[in-house]
């Protein structure tokens, strides 16, 4: 059954069809939530809330990109969670000492050696810390674009802003992250450094 | 407009530097893309910036997809309470009902609080009228008694007079005066119980030959002078259930004044002054906020009707939606 048929069945109240959509998109949803919030527990809660909201709001889905529609719900859930965390700052302090969740594909990548996996994990931790320093609106756009590979149009639909705004926010977010990485280039594994001929 | 101004004031180098991110994502229009590429051929600084930016984007793209810590499948329980979305008409009707209810409450509260918020502005002359009100009430009582004093009384007396017509003569004036005195006392006693509605009748311009046959021949009425007949006549309408009868009466003769003087100090409790007379005297005190009050009453009725309509429509729509 293709995605449109699953969506149509889920709109009629078929929970099984909706759960198949959940299985299809839960990795992306959780990864986006974690990259935005930098807290695995809060990201899990936001993801669960997003899927419940998506199920309840599915009758209002009028076609288009289901992934963009779902990511909009996820980012809204993250915004709600972030606002709550700003009211209670202790939760963000806890998040600093939480290790990054395991990659979904670490056990299933035969082309990558264990050492490369560790180096990639280090890179991911450093980048996550840099992304966490960005403002919320720029962080969401950068995660959707550079981490998840969304087009500008999909990001505009997911965030609910014009494409021009996506373009300018992404430009500023990349500039800040670039400066952050250049300042900490020596912390990166050797193969990821700019001076050592990293992939550009 | 802003984009055009911005582009006009930026140098080619600044503009190209701002487009590098979109150029990297292939999100520029073909003319802008050609322009950026032309600038990159000439500007090594921008070429280096593009290289650094691509390095950053490539590193970010290597961030792995994360493994979910738990399943996010939706339980069957969550499927049950889902309700269909409310229609737009129902949402608007519900909002309008709430708004009208709030407005009605405000109007009701204003109506209730109006006498407390607006101090009654009573001018000095009106205050003097208020202080003189007891004296005016006494005068009013006298007028009532004077109106009740004529022998024109309710239906039973008319029937009695019709059954036994009296032909009065000039020599029987004293006898008629005694009858009037007795009847006046009787009327003063009955008035407390019956309280007939008193109406002012127009001045009776009656020819002398019609005085006897008005209502079966009233005593002491046919010998009156034309000057007396031109005086203001009173009519006593009995509260009979069948019809109200207006009986024109002549001006009371001089003995009736004596009757009135004798009736006033009688031990019978004086009837209360008419409400209209009291209201006429006290009306200026409340006139300051009476236009507001009438407007508020009008708004209350209108809003109440609108509220009933809206509540009915909302309930019907909700019942149809299930």
Of B61, B77, B98, the residue at which a domain comes to its end is B61
The C-alpha atoms of residue B73 and residue A24 are separated, in whole angstroms, by 11
The answer to whether residue B213 is domain-embedded is yes
The CA angle B106-B110-B114, to the nearest 5 degrees, is: 175
The answer to whether residue A7 is domain-embedded is yes
What's the domain range around A119?
113-194
The answer to whether residue A20 is domain-embedded is yes
Which residue of A lies nearest to B56 if distances are taken between CA atoms? A178
The answer to whether residue B321 is domain-embedded is no
- The residues near B13 (Cβ < 8 Å, ≥ 6 apart) are B39, B43, B45, B46
Q: Running DSSP on this structure, what letter comes out for residue A101?
A: P
The answer to whether residue B293 is domain-embedded is no
Which residue of A lies nearest to B17 if distances are taken between CA atoms? A171
Q: Is A177 touching B (CB cutoff 8 A)?
A: yes
The C-alpha atoms of residue B180 and residue B300 are separated, in whole angstroms, by 54
Question: What residues form DSSP beta bridges with A103?
Answer: B66
Say what the pLDDT of residue A116 is.
Answer: 83
The answer to whether residue B222 is domain-embedded is yes
One domain for residues B33 and B143: no
Of B61, B78, B99, the residue at which a domain comes to its end is B61
One domain for residues A171 and A139: yes
The answer to whether A152 and A164 have CB atoms below 8 angstroms apart is no
Angle between helices A66-87 and A40-57 (to 10 degrees): 130
pLDDT reading at A177 higher than 60: yes
One domain for residues A52 and A137: no
The answer to whether residue A14 is domain-embedded is yes
One domain for residues A140 and A63: no
Among left, alpha and beta (phi > 0; psi -120 to 50; other), residue B268 is beta
Q: Is A136 touching B (CB cutoff 8 A)?
A: no
ipTM: 0.85
Say what the pLDDT of residue B247 is.
Answer: 46
Of A40, A72, A99, the residue at which a domain comes to its end is A99
A124·B60 Cβ contact <8 A? no
The answer to whether residue B171 is domain-embedded is yes
One domain for residues B152 and B258: yes
The C-alpha atoms of residue B69 and residue B85 are separated, in whole angstroms, by 33
User: Quick one: A110 exposed, middle or buried, by C-beta within 10 A (0-12, 13-18, 19+)?
Assistant: exposed
Tokens matching residue B77: 């329980």
The answer to whether residue A104 is domain-embedded is no
One domain for residues A72 and A12: yes
- Alpha-carbon distances, residue A148 vs A29, A110, A174 (angstroms): 10, 22, 15
**Which residues on chain A are in Cβ contact (under 8 Å) with B62?**
120, 123-124
Say what the pLDDT of residue B204 is.
Answer: 44
Q: What is the mean pLDDT of residues A100-129?
A: 77
- The b/e string for A49-80 (b: 16+ C-beta within 10 A; e otherwise) is bbbbbbbbebeeeeeeebbbbbbbbbbbbbbe
**Which residues on chain A are in Cβ contact (under 8 Å) with B76?**
15
The answer to whether residue A108 is domain-embedded is no
Please identify which residue in the block is written with the tokens 């109106």: B147
The answer to whether A159 and B98 have CB atoms below 8 angstroms apart is no
Higher per-residue pLDDT: B2 or A149: A149
The DSSP-derived string for B259-300 is: HHHHHTTSSSPPPPPPHHHHHHHHHHHHTTTHHHHHHHHHHH
The answer to whether residue B125 is domain-embedded is no
Total of domains in chain A: 2
The answer to whether residue A105 is domain-embedded is no
Which residues, numbered 56 to 95 in chain A, qualify as contacts with chain B under a Cβ-Cβ cut-off of 8 Å? 56, 59-60
Tokens matching residue A42: 């809060």
The CA angle B297-B300-B303, to the nearest 5 degrees, is: 150
Higher per-residue pLDDT: A20 or B209: A20
Q: Is A176 touching B (CB cutoff 8 A)?
A: no
The C-alpha of A78 sits at a distance from chain B's nearest C-alpha, in angstroms, of: 16
The answer to whether residue B228 is domain-embedded is yes
The C-alpha atoms of residue B258 and residue B181 are separated, in whole angstroms, by 9
What's the domain range around B144?
139-266
The C-alpha atoms of residue B183 and residue B151 are separated, in whole angstroms, by 6
**CATH code of residue A70:** 1.10.1740.10
B73·A174 Cβ contact <8 A? no
What pTM was estimated for this model as a whole?
0.52
One domain for residues A93 and A19: yes
**CATH code of residue A152:** 1.10.10.10
The C-alpha atoms of residue B102 and residue B220 are separated, in whole angstroms, by 69
Higher per-residue pLDDT: A189 or A85: A189
Total of domains in chain B: 2
Of A99, A125, A147, the residue at which a domain comes to its end is A99
The answer to whether residue A173 is domain-embedded is yes
Query: Is B64 strand, coil or helix?
Result: coil
One domain for residues A66 and A137: no
One domain for residues A4 and A78: yes
Higher per-residue pLDDT: A102 or A149: A149
The answer to whether residue A136 is domain-embedded is yes
Q: What is the mean pLDDT of residues A110-116?
A: 77
pLDDT along chain B (322 residues), means of 10: 62 90 93 93 93 94 88 72 66 90 91 72 52 55 60 47 47 63 66 49 46 42 46 42 45 46 47 50 54 84 92 86 62
One domain for residues B56 and B146: no
Confidence of residue A189 (pLDDT cuts 50, 70, 90): confident
Say what the pLDDT of residue A71 is.
Answer: 92
């Amino acid at each position: 059954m293709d995605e449109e048929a699953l969506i149509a069945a889920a709109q009629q109240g078929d929970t099984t069809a909706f759960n198949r959509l959940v299985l299809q998109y839960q990795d992306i949803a959780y990864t986006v939530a974690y990259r935005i919030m930098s807290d695995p527990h809060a990201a899990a809660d936001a993801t669960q809330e997003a899927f419940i909201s998506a199920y309840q709001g599915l009758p209002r889905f009028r076609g288009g990109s289901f992934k963009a529609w779902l990511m909009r719900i996820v980012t809204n859930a993250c915004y709600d969670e972030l606002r709550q965390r700003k009211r209670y700052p202790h939760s963000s302090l806890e998040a600093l000492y939480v290790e990054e969740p395991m990659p979904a594909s670490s056990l299933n990548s035969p082309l990558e050696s264990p050492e490369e996996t560790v180096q990639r994990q280090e890179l991911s931790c450093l980048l996550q810390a840099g992304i966490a320093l960005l403002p919320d609106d720029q962080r969401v756009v950068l995660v959707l674009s550079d981490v998840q590979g969304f087009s500008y149009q999909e990001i505009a639909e997911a965030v609910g802003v014009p494409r021009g705004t996506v373009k300018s926010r992404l430009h500023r977010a990349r500039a800040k992250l670039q400066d952050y990485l250049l300042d900490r280039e020596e912390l990166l594994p050797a193969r990821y450094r700019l001076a050592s001929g990293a992939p550009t | 407009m802003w984009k055009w101004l911005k582009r006009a004031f930026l140098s080619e180098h600044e503009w190209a530097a701002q487009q590098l991110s979109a150029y990297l994502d292939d999100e520029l229009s073909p003319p802008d893309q050609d322009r950026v590429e032309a600038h990159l051929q000439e500007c090594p600084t921008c070429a280096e910036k593009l290289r650094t930016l691509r390095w950053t984007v490539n590193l970010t793209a290597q961030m792995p997809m994360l493994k979910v810590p738990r399943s996010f499948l939706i339980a069957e329980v969550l499927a049950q309470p889902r309700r269909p979305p409310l229609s737009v008409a129902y949402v608007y009707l519900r909002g309008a009902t709430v708004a009208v209810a709030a407005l009605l409450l405000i109007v009701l509260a204003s109506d209730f609080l109006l006498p407390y918020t607006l101090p009654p502005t009573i001018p000095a002359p009106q205050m003097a009228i208020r202080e003189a009100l007891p004296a005016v009430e006494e005068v009013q009582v006298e007028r009532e008694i004077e109106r009740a004093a004529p022998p024109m009384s309710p239906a039973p007396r008319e029937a009695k007079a019709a059954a036994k017509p009296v032909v009065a003569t000039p020599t029987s004036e004293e006898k008629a005066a005694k009858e009037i005195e007795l009847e006046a006392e009787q009327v003063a006693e009955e008035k407390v119980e019956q309280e007939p509605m008193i109406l002012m009748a127009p001045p009776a311009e009656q020819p002398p030959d019609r005085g006897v046959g008005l209502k079966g021949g009233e005593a002491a009425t046919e010998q009156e002078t034309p000057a007396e007949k031109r005086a203001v006549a009173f009519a006593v309408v009995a509260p009979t259930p069948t019809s109200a009868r207006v009986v024109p009466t002549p001006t009371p003769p001089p003995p009736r004044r004596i009757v009135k003087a004798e009736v006033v100090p009688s031990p019978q409790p004086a009837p209360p002054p008419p409400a209209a007379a009291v209201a006429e005297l006290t009306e200026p005190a409340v006139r300051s906020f009476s236009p507001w009050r009438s407007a508020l009453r009008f708004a209350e009725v209108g809003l109440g009707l609108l509220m009933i309509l809206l509540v009915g429509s909302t309930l019907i729509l909700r019942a149809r939606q299930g």
